[in-house]
Chain A
């Protein structure tokens, strides 16, 4: 099981989230060439190393967020800390 550190909900089973793929900067539509658009839409780096990627917390906070994950070890680097989210009576 892969525990994904959601910045709002804390560590969650990856089955509770949706993987959004590699996080890439979107090229400027006004100036990007067709080759650049093709690269943005269809090509992935897919490294066996650290990768910045997006996740969607579909069963929890329903927010998109980005994380850095080592695709070889599934380790997360500097995960955002949700703080004490145990809740309770306000």
Chain B
């Protein structure tokens, strides 16, 4: 495989927030992420194992999100994701399968904390309560007027959400999430990914 280009985050501007708090926003845009498209039911869907609206965690900590009918987002470390998507396009010759490295095209943020659902509900019309969106739930919706993919991926039992959007909206969405989290004492955590 060719050398990977150096990743540059869409978030280039930071803000002063509280030093510590229970609600943390982190830029995880550097995480390797692929988009896989295939039939919603078939060999590829079976291997990925995350039907629309749900997610699964596989070998090497790879997270597979069933983001739309027949579409999956695969994210994790570069090597682990490479292993997860390797050979998908040859699994079923009768299916139209595509796997695209989205790492540089999508911004990704992680919001973690007990107040994360309330913060998201300020900028998104979906119901983020536990009964409606338990750990592992995946949805696409407008967040601060930006079309996003959102996945609940709890960390040690604490509600945590992965929010994806097009890279060009990254800085705006980051700003909007800081605004939304301000009343809950949001702090900006260190960038994650690799």
User: Residues of A at under 8 Å CB distance from B?
Assistant: 8-9, 12-13, 15-16, 58-63, 85-90
Contact of A87 among B49, B55, B141 (CB under 8 A): B55
CA A62 – CA B147 in complex, angstroms? 10
Nearest CB in chain A to that of B136: its residue: A89
Residues in chain B near residue A86, CB distance under 8 A: 53, 131-134, 137
B133 touches A59 (CB 8 A): no
CA of A85 to CA of B136, assembled, Å? 12
A90 touches B134 (CB 8 A): no
In angstroms, how far is the closest chain A Cβ from the Cβ of B72? 11
- B-side interface residues, number (CB < 8 Å): 27
Interface of A is mostly: loop
Max count, chain A CB within 10 A of own CB: residue among B49, B57, B125: B125
Please measure, in the bound complex, the distance between the C-alpha atom of A90 and the C-alpha atom of B147, giving whole angstroms: 24
Q: How many A-B residue pairs have CB under 8 A?
A: 68
Known contacts A87-B133, A87-B134, A89-B55; is A60 also within 8 Å of B141 by CB? yes
| Candidates B50, B55, B132, B139; contact of A60 at CB < 8 Å | B139
Chain B residues whose C-beta falls within 8 Å of the C-beta of A16 in the assembled complex: 125, 141-142
B139 partner residues in chain A, CB cutoff 8 A: 9, 60, 87
Q: Which residue on chain B has the smallest CB distance to residue A82? A: B53
A-B contacts besides A87-B134, A87-B138, A90-B50, 9 pairs, CB < 8 Å: A9-B139, A15-B125, A58-B147, A61-B68, A62-B140, A86-B132, A86-B133, A87-B137, A89-B55
Q: Given that A16-B125, A59-B141 are known contacts, is A87 also in contact with B147, CB under 8 Å in the complex? A: no
CA distance A61 to B125 in the complex (A): 15
Which chain B positions have C-beta within 8 A of A13? 125
Query: What's the nearest-Cβ distance from chain B to residue A14, in Å?
Result: 10
Closest residue on chain B to residue A84 by CB atoms: B53
In the complex with contacts A86-B53, A89-B55, A90-B66, A9-B135 CB distance below 8 A: no
Asked whether B142 lies within 8 Å of A87 as measured between CB atoms, the reply is no
Note all chain B residues with C-beta closer than 8 A to A59: 140-142, 147
Question: Is there an interface contact between A15 and B56, defined as CB atoms closer than 8 Å?
Answer: no
- The answer to whether the Cβ of B54 comes within 8 Å of any Cβ in the partner chain is yes
A9 to chain B, nearest CB (A): 7
Q: How far is the CA of A60 from the CA of B131 in the complex (A)?
A: 20
Given contacts A58-B147, A59-B147, contact A90 B54 (CB under 8 A): yes
Given contacts A16-B141, A16-B142, A59-B141, A88 and B147 within 8 Å (CB-CB): no
5 residue pairs of the A-B complex, CB under 8 angstroms, read A8-B68, A60-B140, A86-B137, A87-B137, A88-B54
